[in-house]
Amino acid sequence: MTADDDAIGPDGYVRLRCYVPLQDTTFFSLFCSEPKGCGRVASSSVGRAISLMGGDGNRTTQEFAARLRCAECGNRRIEVRVSIDPRTHETRLREGLLSEVRDGDLAFAGASGASHDQPG
Residues near Zn ion (CB under 5 A) are 32, 37-38, 40, 70, 72-73, 75
Smallest gap from residue 89 Cβ to Zn ion (A):
35
CB < 8 Å & 24+ apart, contacts of 84-88: 84/25, 84/26, 85/24, 85/25, 85/26, 85/27
Q: Least distance (Å) from Zn ion to the CB of residue 48?
A: 19
d(CA 47, CA 20): 7
CB-nearer residue toward Zn ion: 57 or 110: 110
Rounded to a whole number of angstroms, the minimum distance from the CB of residue 69 to Zn ion is: 9
